[in-house]
Amino acid sequence: MNGILILGRTITAHGRAYVRKSLQAHREIVHGGGIRFETGVGAGYAGRTPKCSLVRYLAIKSHPTAADWSEHDFYSTADSTLTSLHDSIEVQSDKLGGEFDIELSMGVLTVTLGNGLGSYVVNTQTPNRQLWLSSPKSGPARYYWDFRERQWRSSRDDSYLREKLNGELTELCGISIPLQEEGDDS
């Protein structure tokens, strides 16, 4: 997969031509890399690899900072974020009623606020080295790791995951989220 992501975020006309020419090579990487599709057979494609999608994938989804981030290192960063979020929310659970529930399991953090406030889900999305947030207030969002800032940032508008959660949870139920991870002085 690393070979595919190297191209980076900004695709110029030259880049597009390059991608077109390299499509065959990418297909080989994808098949050779053993990436399998596990979410089922969809209408239309019937399990075949939709070949053109790679071009769009490269054009939109890749962040150069994640280019050669190993799965192990990604997961350890993601997991420490999720654990830290879990712990900072859990210690404030007295601000919520009996329906409140929080669970961190297999790289998925689920926070059920109760009182009709809905649920937050943050899950690790290993293939593209992202964290995905589902918020009852603002809907879905994807976050990539900014190595320089050492923060998860929105793939849409570069806003910060922690700021977003802090803003929404403070407003919904008075729970605050530290804007930096504990033990991270940088």
Partner 1 sequence: MSLSLLNYARVAGSGRWALGVMAGNSRAYHQKVIDHYENPRNVGSLSKEDPDVGTGLVGAPACGDVMKLQIRVDKEGNIVESKFKTFGCGSAIASSSLATEMVKGMNVNDAVKIKNAEIASELKLPPVKLHCSMLAEDAIKAAVKNLEEKRAKSDLNEAEAEAEATTA
| CA 42 to mean position of chain CA atoms | 23
Interface pattern 89-118 for partner 1 (x via CB under 8 A):
-------------------x-x-------x
Query: Per-residue x/- mask for partner 1, residues 124 to 163, rule CB under 8 A?
Result: -x-xx---x-x-x--xx-x---------------------
Query: Using the rule CB under 8 A, which residue among 93, 119, 170, 180 binds partner 1?
Result: 119
Decide if residue 39 touches partner 1 (CB under 8 A).
yes
Closer CB to partner 1, 128 or 159, in the complex: 128
| Alpha-carbon gap, residue 157 to 159, rounded angstroms | 5
Is the Cα dihedral 164, 167, 171, 174 positive or negative? positive
How many residues are there in the chain? 186
- Beta bridge pairs of residue 177: none
Q: Which is nearer to partner 1, 60 or 179 (CB)?
A: 60
Taking the least distance from each CB to partner 1, the nearer of 61 and 86 is 61
Under the binding rule (CB under 8 A), the answer on residue 60 touching partner 1 is: yes
Of 69, 74, 100, 120, the one binding partner 1 by CB under 8 A? 120
Which run of H or E residues covers position 66? none
Region near partner 1 per CB under 8 A, out of 51-59, 81-89, 143-151, 171-179: 51-59
Give the count of beta carbons closer than 10 Å to the beta carbon of residue 87. 12
Select from 6-14, 29-37, 143-151, 172-180 the region that touches partner 1 (CB under 8 A): 29-37
- How far is residue 39's CA from residue 148's CA, in Å, rounded to a whole number? 34
Question: What is the side-by-side strand order in the sheet with 139-146?
Answer: 101-105, 108-112, 119-125, 130-135, 139-146, 151-154
Question: What are the residues whose beta carbons fall under 8 Å from the beta carbon of 43, sequence distance 6 or more?
Answer: none
Angle at 13 between CA 63 and CA 125, to 5 degrees: 20
At 124, the amino acid letter reads T
Q: Which residues of the chain form contacts with partner 1 (CB under 8 A)? A: 1, 30, 35, 37-45, 47, 49-50, 52-57, 60-61, 108, 110, 118-121, 123, 125, 127-128, 132, 134, 136, 139-140, 142
